[in-house]
Amino acid sequence: MDGNDETTGRVTPITLPSFIEVERMSQKLLQMSGIEKRFAGVHALKGVDFELESGEVHALLGENGAGKSTLMKILAGIYPVDEGEIFIEGNKVSINSVKDAQAYGISIIHQEISLVPHLSVAENIFLGKEPVTKTGWIDWKRMIEETRKTLQQFGLELSPDVQVKKLTVAQQQMIEIIKAVSFRAKMIVMDEPTSSLTEKEVEFLFQTIGHLKEQGVGIVYISHRMNELFAITDRITVLRDGALIGTVRTKETTADQLISMMVGRELTQYYIKDTAPENGGEIVLSVHNLSKKGVLNKAGFELRKGEILGFAGLVGAGRSELMKCIFGLDAFDEGEIRIDGKPLIIRNPNDAIKHGIAYVTENRKEEGLFLIRSVQYNITIKVLDKFIKWWFRVNARYEDQRTRQFIDELSIKTPNPDQEVRNLSGGNQQKVLISRWLATNPRILILDEPTRGVDVGAKAEIYAIMNRLVKEGVSIIMISSELPEVINMSDRIAVMYKGGIRTILNRDEFSQETIMHYATGG
Amino acid sequence: MVYGTRSFIRANMGILAGLLVLCVIIAVLNPNFLTTNNLLNVLRQTSTNLYLALAMTMVIILGGIDLSVGSVMAVSGVVTAMLVALFDVPLFIAVAAGLLVGILFGALNGYVAATTVIPPFIITLATMNIGRGAAYVLTDGQPVRVMSDAFNFIGSGYIGGILPTPVLYSIIFVILCYLIMNKTKTGRYIYAVGGNPEAARFSGINIKRVKFFAYTFSGFMAGFAGIVLASRMFSGQPTAGVAAELDAIAAVVLGGTSMTGGYGRIGGTVIGALIIGVLSNGLNLIGVSSFWQYIVKGIVILIAVYADVIKRKTA
């Protein structure tokens, strides 16, 4: 609708003589032009253009629901295209199935890893194309040999015999990439590949990507993490509401420009945080010398009323583990937890909830939401007591009112309270999960990676909710691996390292360097 | 949530259509099917399976299974019959004892399922054998005859000279189970534990208590079904309820409940049980031998569940 076609200065293929066309197209690995897609009533893609050159890392950026995954699903043969054309190495193709896509050298690495856990590395890489001997048996020797060679090539020190389930997430992801390459993939789509990787593993992934680039593989990289985009991509294409907003060279753009392209407005108030009065509130929660063998080592901190205490640290430093102990999900060996100065015993989450603690998990789909149930079900599940009429009956009308209140207050975008949560976008799912815990009227709210996998607009809204809660006197603990987020939203930052709290920084000491210094044990 | 008949019909459209088609076919082949007497008869024949299936719905939505219900029927029926016939115990105490036996078996299943990692399929497979064995040991393998009008009234009586007692219980239990699943905390939690056990744990839902409740309720319902069946047969039989668990599971699955847990409806199970009841009644009326009835039942289950899967995919 914005008529962006002119900006690329490209002419539609049909109007040109075919011989010229072929020459022009042959430089491009992939060219998708004028892609249209409609789902029952939803115009998901509005004439989107996208191209990929060989040896290029091209990021696809946009809020959840902008059409990134729809576009990639069309490329992968999962959805048929309504209108538009796809060229691969200059030839017009039609991709009607996943098999077609594979034959054209397109490979997608999904957020969820799709390896068979009980099979070995070699078996996984060769799954569906096992080499056979003359007699028709599987040629194990060749399979193992070739796997070993490939692993070496990628710098992985792994045995081809090891079961995939024994590998780390990062290693599994490498195996997925190797699998894709072994299918002779010319294009690899990576959908948020770093969402569950540690810093070190991310580094390794980036090395692998560099390796693939040298081999001339084109990579479509989907991620919300700005620093990654600037680290490895060559170009960035931004989509919004199913329309192409523009394609920019990474070197010539800034994070602010990308964000405003994504949301269609300047986000002057991206991080919404009023500074709390210094040492204002009394201590509501204090943790002393909490230890758990191999996980936590004498962790201790104090949380004041109305503050946001950020928790920074590397993955595996014990941040979530510490919170799970406080919330009664895990047991600990030694230590003490006090609320309002009084020591208390927390055996299970209900004990914690009774003392006004709430914990919003980092894995909202696995540990948080009941995906096939409604928004209302998910919001009220912890507070059904409030709607009980007579001696057991849950009153539907009160429940409905309360749900609508949350939908309004947190501006959850859902057609109605009966909508199944799995149909909501990531940001709205997160708001549903936060609502569940706000419904319990917590005094202490623990948010574990509250904006992971959430688009920029929803992020800002979640920050606004946090800011409002703090003003109302709620104390918030926020675990976050995004340093800009911790720095901008926290009043103080606790940095964890190897199960212990290395230091607690005040606002005037905040900087990425300082945090990383302590997070790495300095 | 929208309650009421319209949403009930919408949610169970496919299976309701199947039930109607089945009724029409049978009525065409034998008009006697549609008499009030026969229809009440169908409801009566469906009732014991329905008691089991209602509780089985909860257990399956929870992500479990209860194979022991058929055997528990036998033990409860035998215990009640023996107390009445051999020990002359007052009826209500005998019935209470029979129900207690069912509850104890259910509680055992629930306790082990809640506190260990043994799969419920294995736990209830074990208690299924224990129950059947107990029924044989108690009776020495012989049926226990009961000559008591009061006892016989439980399963063979009529209310107001028309409504068979088992049908009355069916109505009460359907309402009760509907309320539990849709209007109580426990019901919500059953969906939660079956749909996403990790999320339930992180929400502080007492998973053990929910499991314990569902299995215990299943044991209670099996005990009740066993007593009603014993009353209808005027005897406690150690062979009663063989393979009854499978009919109950069939009714639940026909009703659209997911075997992997998290999804299902009491209303669907009622229709599922009715399909099984109508089918065997109809096949009898048409004169199909009981050997062939098994084959027909198997085919109908396959077709119905497949149709349901297709419908859900396209919906």
Q: Which residue is closest to A358 within chain B, CA to CA? A: B203
Top pLDDT among B296 and A453 is at B296
Q: What local confidence, expressed as pLDDT, does residue B112 receive?
A: 97
Of A24-38, A254-268, A504-518, B48-62, the one with minimum mean pLDDT is: A254-268
Q: What band does A19 get if pLDDT is binned at 50, 70 and 90? A: very low
Model confidence at A8: pLDDT above 60 = no
User: What percent of chain A lies above the pLDDT cut of 90?
Assistant: 35
* The domain made up of A283-356+479-522 is a member of CATH 3.90.25.10: no
Task: Tell me which residue of B234, B220, B205 sits closest to B73, measured CA to CA.
Answer: B220
Domain ranges of chain A: 54-76+96-263, 283-356+479-522
Chain B neighbors of A396, CB-CB under 8 A: 1, 3, 183
Model confidence at A2: pLDDT above 50 = no
Distance from CA of A251 to the nearest CA of B (A): 43
Top pLDDT among B206 and A113 is at B206
Please give the structure tokens belonging to residue B196: 């996403």
Give the length of chain B. Answer: 315
The CA distances from residue A223 to A63, A140, A191, A238, in Å, are 10, 38, 7, 11
Distance from CA of A157 to the nearest CA of B (A): 34
Chain B contact for A381 (CB, 8 A cutoff): yes
Please give the structure tokens belonging to residue A345: 């015993």
B179, B184, B192 member nearest A381 (Cβ): B192
Q: What band does A40 get if pLDDT is binned at 50, 70 and 90? A: low
Are the beta carbons of A155 and A123 closer than 8 angstroms? no
Q: What local confidence, expressed as pLDDT, does residue B313 receive?
A: 65
Model confidence at B126: pLDDT above 60 = yes
Model confidence at B217: pLDDT above 90 = yes
Model confidence at A483: pLDDT above 90 = no
ipTM of the prediction greater than 0.85, yes or no: no
Model confidence at A201: pLDDT above 80 = no
- Residue range A397-425: average pLDDT? 87
Q: What band does B314 get if pLDDT is binned at 50, 70 and 90? A: low
CATH fold group of domain B40-314: ABC transporter involved in vitamin B12 uptake, BtuC (1.10.3470)
Q: What local confidence, expressed as pLDDT, does residue A265 receive?
A: 57
Instruction: Provide the terminal-to-terminal Cα distance of chain B, rounded to the nearest Å.
Output: 19
Assess whether the region A54-76+96-263 and the region A283-356+479-522 belong to the same CATH fold: yes
* Contact criterion met (CB < 8 Å) for A381 and B198: no
* Contact criterion met (CB < 8 Å) for A384 and B185: yes
Rg (CA), chain A: 25
Q: What local confidence, expressed as pLDDT, does residue A23 receive?
A: 39
Distance CA A438, CA B265 (A): 30
* Contact criterion met (CB < 8 Å) for B2 and A371: no
Q: What local confidence, expressed as pLDDT, does residue A27 receive?
A: 61
Top pLDDT among A32 and A414 is at A32
Model confidence at B247: pLDDT above 90 = yes
Q: What local confidence, expressed as pLDDT, does residue A276 receive?
A: 63
- Residue A147: partners with Cβ closer than 8 Å, 6 or more residues away: A121, A122, A125, A126, A160
Chain A contact for B145 (CB, 8 A cutoff): no
What is the 3-class SS of B189-216, one letter each residue?
HHHHHHHCHHHHHHCCCCHHHHHHHHHH
User: What percent of chain B lies above the pLDDT cut of 70?
Assistant: 97
Q: What band does A269 get if pLDDT is binned at 50, 70 and 90? A: low
Most confident of A174-183, A254-263, A401-410: A401-410
Give pairs for A213-216: CB < 8 Å, separation 24+.
A213/A55, A213/A56, A213/A57, A214/A55, A215/A55, A215/A181, A216/A54, A216/A55, A216/A186
Chain A neighbors of B2, CB-CB under 8 A: 418
Counting beta carbons within 10 angstroms of the beta carbon of residue A293, is it exposed (0 to 12), middle (13 to 18) or buried (19 or more)?
exposed
Task: Tell me which residue of A234, A170, A229 sits closest to A205, measured CA to CA.
Answer: A170
C-alpha A426: how far from its chain's center?
A: 9
Supply the CATH classification number for the domain A54-76+96-263: 3.40.50.300
Q: What local confidence, expressed as pLDDT, does residue B248 receive?
A: 95
Distance from CA of A456 to the nearest CA of B (A): 26
Top pLDDT among A156 and A88 is at A88
Q: What local confidence, expressed as pLDDT, does residue A11 receive?
A: 38
Are the beta carbons of A482 and A514 closer than 8 angstroms? no
Model confidence at A236: pLDDT above 90 = yes
- Residue range B178-186: average pLDDT? 90
Model confidence at A14: pLDDT above 60 = no
Q: What local confidence, expressed as pLDDT, does residue A268 receive?
A: 52
Chain B contact for A349 (CB, 8 A cutoff): yes
Model confidence at A83: pLDDT above 80 = yes
Are the beta carbons of A467 and A474 closer than 8 angstroms? no
Domain ranges of chain B: 40-314
Q: What band does A22 get if pLDDT is binned at 50, 70 and 90? A: very low
Model confidence at A42: pLDDT above 70 = no
Distance from CA of A343 to the nearest CA of B (A): 21
* Contact criterion met (CB < 8 Å) for A396 and B3: yes
Write the DSSP string, A296-339: EEEEEEEEETT-EEEEEE-TTSSHHHHHHHHTTSS--SEEEEEE
- Residue range A196-224: average pLDDT? 84
Chain A contact for B198 (CB, 8 A cutoff): yes
Distance CA A12, CA B162 (A): 79
Q: What band does A6 get if pLDDT is binned at 50, 70 and 90? A: very low
Q: What local confidence, expressed as pLDDT, does residue B249 receive?
A: 95
Residue with token string 């209860």:
B66
Q: What band does A237 get if pLDDT is binned at 50, 70 and 90? A: very high
Q: What local confidence, expressed as pLDDT, does residue A223 receive?
A: 82
- B212-230 per-residue burial string, b: 16 or more CB within 10 A, e: under 16: bbbbbbbbbbbbbbbbbbb
Instruction: Provide the terminal-to-terminal Cα distance of chain A, rounded to the nearest Å.
Output: 53
Chain B contact for A368 (CB, 8 A cutoff): yes
A350, A369, A396 member nearest B204 (Cβ): A350
- Residue range B275-293: average pLDDT? 91
Q: What band does A58 get if pLDDT is binned at 50, 70 and 90? A: very high
* Contact criterion met (CB < 8 Å) for A369 and B196: yes
Secondary-structure percent of chain B, ordered helix, strand, coil, rounded to 5: 75, 5, 20
Q: What local confidence, expressed as pLDDT, does residue A277 receive?
A: 60
C-alpha B310: how far from its chain's center?
A: 26
The single-letter DSSP state of residue B93 is H
Distance CA A424, CA A458 (A): 12
Are the beta carbons of A54 and A218 closer than 8 angstroms? yes
The B residues from 272 to 301 touching A (CB cutoff 8 Å) are none
Chain A neighbors of B257, CB-CB under 8 A: none
Q: How many CB atoms lie within 10 A of CB A131?
A: 13
- Residue range A230-254: average pLDDT? 91
Q: Which residue is closest to B263 within chain A, CA to CA? A: A372
pLDDT tens track for A309-358: 999 987 778 999 999 999 999 999 999 999 998 998 999 999 999 999 99
Q: What band does A425 get if pLDDT is binned at 50, 70 and 90? A: confident
